[in-house]
């Protein structure tokens, strides 16, 4: 197999929740040795399940902290080290790891790493070419919000995304639960690649300082330009578009089935009319131009809803695409697993756990890109809590057995969290009834050949 792009790079991943942990999982896919560091009394919150995912077969198991789905997805391919960073001894071992690593990732508020004397100026004293990646809500520095804690569930508001998300006359809305987390994921992966390239060229390290509130701004560029140049603030228009019409999400055949489409120009509009068997609409002066169609968007929506509801969403997508009209079905979680294009791209990967983990084989999302010369895959399951304490401290750092056992006794390292509890388990059918999930198939394992 070809050498992986980040083979030989060691990353200390002292991060929690979604954004940078998922970046670490992506780096592991690319060949990096990623060491996830958690405190014995501060396990990653995604280990608890609940809002952070589900447990296999909806059962906690004997080691619930090693089983939740979200933790397993975003921490795949990593090693696990538990280290009490609130203890000076724990921080001393962290410094020893920094000396033999290439990248450090952290997502504490700015005061934490400074207070531990592990901020960038101090890390450079240990290893001058170290790359530090900090991910905070508002970035480091002198800004008035820099010290504020934050999470992605509120960040969309601070970069303007909520202002343009929602329906006309309704309140600002969010796009899902934590959209900005994953923007920070990809920002971090890109920035680490750039910093490694810079180090390769100059021999110097870099501090990557990410402010999550800024990661979403790049997706609002047209609104910012419109406000700056034309004085227009934008607004909430639901699934419509400022210029395209018709555009929206329309019902398809079956219960709660949907398809999206978007018409840009007169040629696409005429093609849509032919598909609908409504050549009269193509000649109707009320809809003859893009501007006229935009002004009568609601009328067109009513016509389209009546038409699209008679078609299977996949069949209609192919018909529309065949006529040159951008369209796509709205996929459910079930659809994604069986969609032929996802399968052809190999996006969903099977990962087998060792027998002692009692997790069997699971399916996880891969990456949204492919490399032609270096095929990528998830290299191993997410680690059990502290599973690499011994190899990392004894083999990598050369610690003797007596010193290692003393760390265990002092609670500086552990293989079982000393705090936390598993999230609640809701029977699947009850979850469907309350709207927590859309559908439950008790035969999913057989259908997915797991």
First to last CA, the chain: 27
Q: Render pLDDT for 393-407 as a digit per residue (tens, 0 to 9).
A: 999 999 999 999 999
User: Vertex 404, ends 401 and 408: CA angle to 5°?
Assistant: 135
Q: Render pLDDT for 207-244 as a digit per residue (tens, 0 to 9).
A: 999 999 889 888 888 899 999 999 998 899 999 998 89
Burial environment of residue 349 by CB neighbours within 10 A (0 to 12, 13 to 18, 19 or more): middle
User: Vertex 213, ends 207 and 218: CA angle to 5°?
Assistant: 90
Are 27 and 191 in contact, with CB atoms under 8 Å apart?
A: no
Tell me which residue of 159, 136, 154 sits closest to 220, measured CA to CA.
159
Rounded CA separation 11/103 (Å) = 5
- Residue 2's pLDDT band (cuts 50, 70, 90): low
Annotation says 170 is catalytic: no
Are 51 and 30 in contact, with CB atoms under 8 Å apart?
A: no
The pLDDT of residue 153? 82
Q: What is the mean pLDDT of the chain?
A: 93
The pLDDT of residue 370? 93
Q: Render pLDDT for 63-77 as a digit per residue (tens, 0 to 9).
A: 999 999 999 999 999
The architecture of the domain spanning 10-215+344-447 is: 3-Layer(aba) Sandwich (3.40)
1 pLDDT above the threshold of 70: no
CATH superfamily entry for domain 247-251+258-329: formyl-coa transferase, domain 3 (3.30.1540.10)
Average pLDDT, stretch 115-142? 95
Average pLDDT, stretch 316-344? 95
172 pLDDT above the threshold of 70: yes
Could you say which of 44, 119, 181, 388 is catalytic? Answer: 181
Write down the domain spans for the chain. 10-215+344-447, 247-251+258-329
Average pLDDT, stretch 314-341? 96
Q: 10 Å Cβ neighbour count for 142? A: 5
Residues sharing a CB contact under 8 Å with residue 227, sequence separation 6 or more, in sequence order: 233, 234
């Amino acid at each position: 197999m070809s050498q992986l792009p980040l083979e030989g790079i060691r990353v200390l991943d002292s991060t929690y929740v979604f954004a940078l942990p998922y970046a670490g999982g992506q780096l592991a896919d690319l060949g990096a040795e990623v060491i996830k560091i958690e405190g014995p009394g501060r396990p990653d919150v995604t280990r608890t399940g609940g809002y952070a995912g589900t447990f296999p077969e909806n059962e906690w198991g004997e080691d619930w902290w090693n089983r939740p789905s979200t933790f397993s997805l975003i921490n795949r391919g990593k090693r696990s080290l538990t280290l009490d960073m609130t203890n000076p001894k724990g921080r001393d071992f962290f410094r020893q790891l920094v000396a033999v690593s290439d990248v450090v990732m952290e997502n504490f508020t700015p005061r934490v790493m400074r207070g531990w004397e592990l901020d960038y100026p101090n890390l450079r004293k240990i290893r001058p070419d170290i790359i530090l990646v900090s991910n905070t809500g508002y970035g480091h520095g002198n800004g008035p919000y820099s010290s504020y804690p934050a999470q992605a569930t509120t960040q969309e508001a601070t970069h303007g995304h909520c202002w343009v998300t929602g329906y006309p006359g309704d309140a600002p809305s969010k796009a899902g639960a934590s959209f900005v987390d994953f923007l920070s994921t990809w920002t971090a992966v890109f920035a680490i690649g750039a910093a490694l390239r810079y180090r390769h060229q100059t021999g110097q390290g870099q501090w990557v300082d990410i402010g999550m509130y800024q990661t979403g701004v790049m997706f609002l560029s047209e609104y910012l330009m419109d406000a700056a140049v034309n004085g227009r603030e934008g607004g909430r228009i639901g699934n419509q578009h400022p210029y395209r019409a018709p555009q929206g999400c329309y019902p398809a055949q079956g219960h709660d089935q949907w398809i999206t489409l978007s018409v840009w120009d007169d040629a696409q509009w005429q093609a849509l009319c032919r598909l609908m068997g409504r050549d009269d609409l193509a000649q109707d002066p009320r809809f003859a131009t893009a501007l006229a169609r935009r002004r009568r968007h609601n009328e067109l929506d009513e016509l389209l809803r009546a038409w699209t509801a008679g078609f299977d969403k996949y069949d209609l997508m192919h018909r529309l695409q065949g006529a040159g009209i951008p369209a796509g079905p709205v996929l459910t979680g079930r659809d994604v697993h069986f969609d032929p294009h996802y399968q052809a791209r190999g996006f969903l990967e099977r990962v087998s756990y060792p027998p002692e983990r009692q997790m069997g084989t699971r399916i996880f999302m891969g990456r949204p890109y492919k490399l032609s010369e270096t095929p990528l895959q998830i290299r191993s399951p997410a680690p059990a809590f502290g599973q690499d304490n011994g190899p990392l401290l004894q083999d990598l750092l050369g610690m003797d057995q007596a010193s290692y056992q003393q760390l265990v006794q002092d609670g500086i390292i552990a293989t079982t969290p000393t705090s936390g509890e598993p999230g609640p388990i809701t029977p699947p059918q009850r979850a469907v009834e309350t709207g927590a999930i859309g559908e439950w198939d008790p035969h999913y394992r057989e259908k997915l050949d797991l």
